[in-house]
Amino acid sequence: NAGVTQTPKFQVLKTGQSMTLQCAQDMNHEYMSWYRQDPGMGLRLIHYSVGAGITDQGEVPNGYNVSRSTTEDFPLRLLSAAPSQTSVYFCASSYKLGGGYGYTFGSGTRLTVV
Amino acid sequence: AQSVTQLGSHVSVSEGALVLLRCNYSSSVPPYLFWYVQYPNQGLQLLLKYTSAATLVKGINGFEAEFKKSETSFHLTKPSAHMSDAAEYFCAVSEGFTGTASKLTFGTGTRLQVTL
């Protein structure tokens, strides 16, 4: 069981470039989400998905796109990278836990935009 | 809307001293509460979680937290700090009974320093 796998672990982009951060889970979790972590701000929700074909915006969605074509994969796309998107990105999948949910996080992608 | 406030962005304790990291939450429905730890350049590791069962929750590495509804608090404690506890700690809340199952809201984090 690999859990939540994020690739790449590190990436440097030039301003204006595009890229896709990959996230895959093998636990058949229905819910998946993307967070970004910035110093002094904790983790903030970018986008989330409650199932294949269904996505919605979180707290900081601007500049990011997502899609969910399968239960396993939830890629995050940066269409035109900006220095403000320099951050550490975490993907998470959620599972039913009693009346609520538990969360499993990937190991993160450290992105630098120059 | 749910929110989390962590009081103190930096906390310093001596090795062997009590660790107390504060977390207050706001939620319109019964909350699920979590504490995560992050060691330098690593991902998030779940320390413990409150899921509406026992109000005193025991986690890994000797940590525990008590859910106090009247105070809307979920403070993290450890009786005796160890050097290996130095890390950043995040409190988080999710609304357990809504459809927004993927929405976990984090506090801004508390960096714990342990000194000799």
Q: What is the pLDDT of residues B2-23, one digit of tens each?
A: 899 999 999 999 999 999 999 9
Return the sign of the alpha-carbon dihedral for residues A50, A53, A58, A64. positive
For residue range A50-78, what is the model confidence (pLDDT) as tens digits? 889 999 999 999 999 999 999 999 999 99
pLDDT beyond 60 at B52: yes
At position A102, the amino acid (one-letter code) is G
Q: What percent of chain B lies above the pLDDT cut of 90?
A: 73
CA B82 to chain A, closest CA, distance in angstroms equals: 24
Query: Cβ(A32)–Cβ(A68) under 8 Å?
Result: yes
Q: What is the rounded distance in angstroms from the CA atom of residue A31 to the CA atom of residue A54?
A: 10
Nearest CB to A48: which of B90, B102, B107?
B102
Give the model's confidence band at A96: pLDDT under 50 very low, under 70 low, under 90 confident, else very high: confident
Give the model's confidence band at A110: pLDDT under 50 very low, under 70 low, under 90 confident, else very high: very high
pLDDT at residue B32, rounded to an integer: 87
For the segment A8-37, the average pLDDT, to the nearest whole number, is 95
Q: What is the rounded distance in angstroms from the CA atom of residue B113 to the CA atom of residue B111?
A: 6
Contacts of B44 in chain A (CB under 8 A): 43, 90, 105
Give the model's confidence band at A1: pLDDT under 50 very low, under 70 low, under 90 confident, else very high: low
Question: Is B116 an 8 Å CB contact of chain A?
Answer: no
Please give the mean pLDDT across all residues of chain B: 90
Nearest CB to A102: which of B44, B49, B52?
B49
The verdict on a CB contact (< 8 Å) between B96 and A101 is yes
The verdict on a CB contact (< 8 Å) between A48 and B43 is no
pLDDT at residue A57, rounded to an integer: 92
Q: What is the rounded distance in angstroms from the CA atom of residue B6 to the CA atom of residue A100?
A: 22
H-helix or E-strand spanning residue A112: strand A109-113
For the purposes of burial, counting CB atoms within 10 Å of the CB of A35, is it exposed (0-12), middle (13-18) or buried (19 or more)? buried
User: What are the distances in angstroms from CA A113 to CA A23, A58, A85, B36, B42?
Assistant: 20, 22, 7, 27, 20
